Amino acid sequence: MTDAIGYERIGDIAVLAAQNPPVNALGYDVRVGLVQGIERAEADAGVRAVLIYGEGATYFAGADIREFGKPPREPFLPDVCNRIESSPLIVVSAMHGTALGGGLEIALSSHYRVAVPKARMGLPEVNLGLIPGATGTQRLPRLTGVEAAIDLVTSGRQIGAKEALDLGVIDKIAEGDPREIGLAYVRELLDSGAPRRAVSELPAPAPIDFDAAYEATLKKGRGQLSPAYGVRAVQAACERPFAEGVAEERRLFTELMGTKQRQGMIHAFFAERAVGKLPELDGVTPREVKSVGVIGGGTMGAGIATAALGAGLSVVLLEMSAEAAEAARKRIEGNLSGALKRGSLGQDAFDAMMTRALTLATDYEALSDVDLVIEAVFEQMDVKKQVFTRLDAVCKPGAVLATNTSYLDIDEIAAVTKRPQDVIGLHFFSPAHIMKLLEVVVADKTAPEVVATGFALGKRLGKISVRAGVCDGFIGNRILKTYRTAAEHMVLDGASPFQIDKALTDFGFAMGPYAVSDLAGLDIGWMTRKRLAPTRHPRERVPTYADKLCEAGHYGQKTGRGYYIYEAGRRAGIPNPEVMELIEAERAELGLASRDFSDDEIVRRYMAAMVNEGAKVLEEGIARRPLDIDMVFLSGYGFPRYHGGPMKWADMQGLDKVLEDIRTFAREDDYFWQPAPLLERLVEEGRTFDDMNREAAS
């Protein structure tokens, strides 16, 4: 026996206990151990049943993802599943924690399943660019019917024990330790003479219109293949005998395993876990945060306050006047009422947040006792400096003083206080109570303990926190500015904003850059352009047509008109014809000849700009690792997860190809397209961004 599966005999029951922390992933040793355990139980005279459960935090949480991409080693997981099910003994799985992917597939291959009330289960393989590859797509529909199986396989969502019982995924819920509830259930089954029950022998459900389901799923996934493949696998379960269905599932799984989408999504999985691991925070204890002050209750302040209230923190919100404070309260109420309507927030909790947990104030004295303050006032340096001077005077020693500035120099803000070590950037994304990304911006003098506090707060608010350094726009907005500029150059040279948006949504972005600008408000970019105008290099190409839209009062969605026109009652906009008129007039004024751009060229230019600036951001230490940039774009900018993030995408394209594009584009404009020295070095040395990630981890 391997150490990964313990064997114990209790009367006529053999107990197989998984011992592979932290999540009992089904690596090679575990698979071998399960087969050996079943064989030993069958050879163990007097054993009538087998109980499988996991020690530690969970039942099996899935196949061992670290083995993907390496040569597979026998026994393969589907064979382990079939070996378990074909045992003449009664096999029972007792689940706790998260029974996911291959884990749930082992459970489905057992003859009976019991779970603790808090257990969660699901088939999340689609989130890794895969489908269940160990008979899950064949066994699940036989228990739940087609509709629920397609839902679970294509969404990857986790379900609780109650829903699993209702759907027929499990047979029983029992409170207690998995070993105890498992043993009690096995005893009950043996005593009642329950038969061995193989899911594969149950009749397959009737087919549905699978072609329609496939097309709908493909469309919903915006180019992501795995959910649509999941539909085909369930189809095989309905239309073919079990063994053939399993073979078809394996074929689809193996095909997906070879795709870049799989590589991109698994990169995203590990990047999400690596992003908070910073050597300088090892052993550093964050400061305790129970109460938060928020200054400014506009779009961002209200969103941040909502997130903090939702995480059980008490909030003091400071505004300029009682009227502005009341408007902020209404915004927060509006944000929370969404959760109230959806049922994810109860009325009592809502009332408690809006009354006891939230305090509105107009006087800085109200902030004298809070543990952490987040400033979200207007994006103007003089206003920020005034606020931080007041905070320095009133906040208790040790309070963390954070700014939500999008672009401004946090060192300069910190310098107006006598405690720059306590000052940090906590850059949320709009809507702040929904968007996952938090850039934790570390200024020159920020203390490690304060950085750790930023990360701890991010975790508490359910955010993905990424460390960033100080520069204009930090990681995300700085890179955004560069690829937006590349898009503007294409517009000047002949592409339309609408073609660019379409090419990028076809690439997989949730929205194109012009639709995003309409959503954020065109006035924001306008203000930034005005702010940066004095520092602009004479060779910078900055079109003015967008300023003209703003001058005409068209700020995007909030005014009903921007690049697109937003008709009442319709969410998506239709192209605004004025935009093309303004662009054509500008091209004529500048004497520019228009040329055609293919969608492929649009994507390559946009991505090359993103990757090139990303490499510069890395070289300057604004981002520590390529994966930090990937996480910023995946969690804050709607970058398609199946491309893994811009730096992973570049690796998968081949850095030499991206650099070659940049050099080609530089022949037209060698001011904008200056290759990042880091990118040139990596290509010269035959290294990748992933190599940098690995080096940083070792």
Using CB distances below 5 to 8 A depending on partner kind, what does residue 62 bind out of ligand NAI, ligand 3HC, none? ligand 3HC
Q: Which residues of 211-237 are buried (b: 16+ CB within 10 A; e: fewer)?
A: eebbeebbeebebbbbbbbbbbbbbbb
Q: What contacts 24+ positions apart, CB below 8 Å, involve 15-20?
A: 15/50, 15/51, 15/53, 15/179, 15/182, 15/183, 16/41, 16/50, 16/51, 16/52, 16/53, 17/53, 17/54, 17/55, 17/179, 18/52, 18/53, 18/54, 18/55, 18/59, 18/60, 19/55, 19/56
Residue nearest to ligand NAI (CB): 298
Any contact of residue 23 with ligand 3HC (CB under 6 A)?
yes
User: Does 265 interact with ligand 3HC (rule: CB under 6 A)?
Assistant: no
Q: Looking at residues 118 to 177 of the shown chain, list those that interact with ligand 3HC (rule: CB under 6 A).
A: 124-125, 128, 130, 132-134, 136
Q: CA–CA separation, 60 vs 79, rounded Å?
A: 16
Question: Which string of x and - marks every residue 52-71 that binds ligand 3HC (by CB under 6 A)?
Answer: ---------xxxxxx-----
Is 101 near ligand 3HC (CB under 6 A)? Answer: yes
Q: Are 31 and 80 in contact (CB under 8 A)?
A: yes
575 part of the interface to ligand NAI, by CB under 6 A: no
Q: Tell me which of 85, 125, 249, 319 is the catalytic residue.
A: 125
Q: Is 344 exposed, middle or buried, given 0-12, 13-18 or 19+ CB atoms closer than 10 A? A: exposed
Specify the DSSP class assigned to residue 57: T
The tokens describing 162, both together, are 């109650």
Indicate whether 264 belongs to the interface with ligand 3HC (CB under 6 A).
no
To the nearest whole angstrom, how small is the minimum distance from the Cβ of residue 153 to ligand 3HC?
A: 10
Among 25, 315, 358, 503, binds ligand 3HC (CB under 6 A): 25
CB 213, min distance to ligand NAI, A:
37
Q: Which stretch binds ligand 3HC (CB under 6 A): 3-11, 93-101, 180-188, 297-305?
A: 93-101
Cβ contact 301:290 at 8 Å: no
Q: Which stretch binds ligand NAI (CB under 6 A): 152-160, 166-174, 266-274, 372-380?
A: 372-380
The CA-atom distances, in angstroms, between 508 and each of 133, 171, 178 are 25, 40, 42
Q: Which residue bears the tokens 């329950």?
A: 194
Least separation in angstroms between residue 319's CB and ligand NAI is 5
630 binds ligand 3HC (CB under 6 A): no
> Residue 259 is encoded by which pair of tokens?
């795709």
| Residue 25 interaction partner, one of ligand 3HC, ligand NAI, none, beta carbon < 5-8 Å per kind | ligand 3HC
x/- contact string, 519-558, with ligand NAI (CB under 6 A)?
-x--------------------------------------
Q: What is the bridge-based pairing of β-strands 5-10 and 90-95? A: unpaired
Please select the residue that binds ligand NAI; options are 10, 66, 219, 378, rule is CB under 6 A.
Answer: 378
Q: Does position 301 bind ligand NAI by CB under 6 A?
A: yes
From the list 105, 248, 375, 613, the catalytic residue is 105
How far is it, in rounded angstroms, from Cα 276 to Cα 88? Answer: 48
Instruction: Look at residue 137 and give the partner it binds from ligand 3HC, ligand NAI, none, a contact being a CB closer than 5 to 8 Å depending on partner kind.
Output: none
From candidates 44, 55, 272, 379, binder to ligand NAI by CB under 6 A: 379
In the residue annotation, 589 being an active-site residue is answered as no
- Map 347-359 to HEC letters: HHHHHHHHHHHEE
SS3 label, residue 629: helix
Cα–Cα distance measured from residue 415 to residue 421, given in angstroms and rounded to the nearest whole number? 10
CB 136 within 8 A of CB 108: yes
Task: Name beta bridge partners: 173.
Answer: 115
73 binds, among ligand 3HC, ligand NAI, none (CB under 5 to 8 A by kind): none
Residues 6+ apart with CB under 8 A from 168: 143, 144
- From residue 258 to residue 297, what is the string marking binding to ligand NAI with x (rule CB under 6 A)? -------------------------------------xxx
DSSP secondary structure, 193-257, as one string: TPPP--GGGSPPPPP--HHHHHHHHHHHTTT--HHHHHHHHHHHHHHS-HHHHHHHHHHHHHHHH
Stretch that binds ligand 3HC, among 17-25, 291-299, 502-510, 685-693 (CB under 6 A): 17-25
Q: Is 299 in the site for ligand NAI (CB under 6 A)?
A: yes
Indicate which single residue of 34, 49, 77, 80 sits in contact with ligand 3HC (rule: CB under 6 A): 77
Partner whose footprint covers residue 63, from ligand NAI, ligand 3HC, none (CB < 5 to 8 Å by kind): ligand 3HC
Buried b (16+ CB within 10 A) or exposed e, 638-659: bbbbbbbbbbbbbbbbebeebb
By beta-carbon proximity to ligand NAI, the closer residue of 80 and 317 is 317
Spatial CA neighbour of 465 closest among 695, 221, 286: 286
Active site residue 163: no
In degrees and rounded to multiples of 5, residue 440 shows phi and psi of -95, 105
Over the window 406 to 445, marking each residue x when it contacts ligand NAI by CB under 6 A and - when it does not, the resulting string is x---------------------xxx---------------
Which residue's CB is nearer to ligand 3HC, number 23 or number 295? 23
* Calpha distance 390→386 (Å, rounded): 6
Pairing of strands 120-122, 159-160: antiparallel
360 contributes a contact to ligand NAI by CB under 6 A: no
Task: List residues binding ligand 3HC (CB under 6 A).
Answer: 22-23, 25, 61-66, 77, 98, 100-102, 105, 124-125, 128, 130, 132-134, 136, 273
Task: List residues binding ligand NAI (CB under 6 A).
Answer: 295-301, 318-320, 324, 376-379, 383, 387, 404-406, 428-430, 520
The set of catalytic residues is 105, 125
